[in-house]
Chains A and B, each alone.
Chain A
Amino acid sequence: MTDALIVVALLLVAGAATAAVLNRDPVRQALVLSFLGLALALLFTFLQAPDVALSQLAVGSAVTPLMILLTVRKVRRRPGSDDGADEPAGRER
């Protein structure tokens, strides 16, 4: 039964990674990447490595997509309004 779980989790990881490669828009990639992080965490847990799964959760499903989204926002805002120092926090939009 464990083998079935591992196989399904592996297939999910492979599918999510392929989808992340095939998506061209970085914002969409960020969401697929967060799915990939969760799928990897599931796989690690089924392989009896919950400590690795915990760090994978923090890095893969939260930090990496967040960094991508922040980068995309920063890059897109640059050409239009570059007057004044940029204020990251606060009320953009």
Chain B
Amino acid sequence: MSASDGWLAAALVPLLALVPVLWRIAHGSPEDRLIGQNLTSLLAGLALLLAAQGFHRTSYNDVALVVSVLGPTGTLIYARFLDVLPDSRLVRWTALVGVPATVLPLCAATGPGRAMVKLLLIGALLIAGSVVTSTSGGKGGVTA
């Protein structure tokens, strides 16, 4: 198995994790659906990053960058309309564990340079977006 096959096999992991998420989005309470939407963008971003490395096309990281910006924005919009912003430990821990576990090996494989800075930026955006949208505000009234 060559190195690029390894990266693509790694991309299969978040992709397969999307299957139960789809189930929760299709059948579930509004809170579950919102958590599912949040988790979907996170997992899709990770899969895109790994696939970009597997295809040896660093420009594919642009798609992951857009996902990392649009995903949390979408979650906040839905929270506004559905009037829920559930506290989700699953999303938070997936972000805090999964994103470094993905981005750091990718950085090591990329080597220093602009591409690595972009990877780190995407990782930081994914983590920040997930943490913000999965922590229900202590003061309350986040969803207005």
Contact = CB atoms under 8 A, between A and B. Distances in A.
Given A16-B22, A22-B26, A39-B18, A34 B59 contact: no
A2 to B, nearest CB: 6
B48 A42 contact: yes
Contacts of A1: 4-5, 8-9, 12, 54
B60 A50 contact: yes
Contacts of B47: 42
A8 B40 contact: no
Interface residues of B, number: 45
Interface residue tally on A, bucketed by range? 35 or more
Contacts of A69: 77-78, 81
Interface of B: 4-5, 8-9, 11-12, 15-16, 18-19, 21-22, 25-26, 30, 33-34, 36-37, 40-41, 44, 47-48, 51-52, 54-55, 57, 59-60, 62-63, 66-67, 70-71, 73-74, 77-78, 81-83, 144
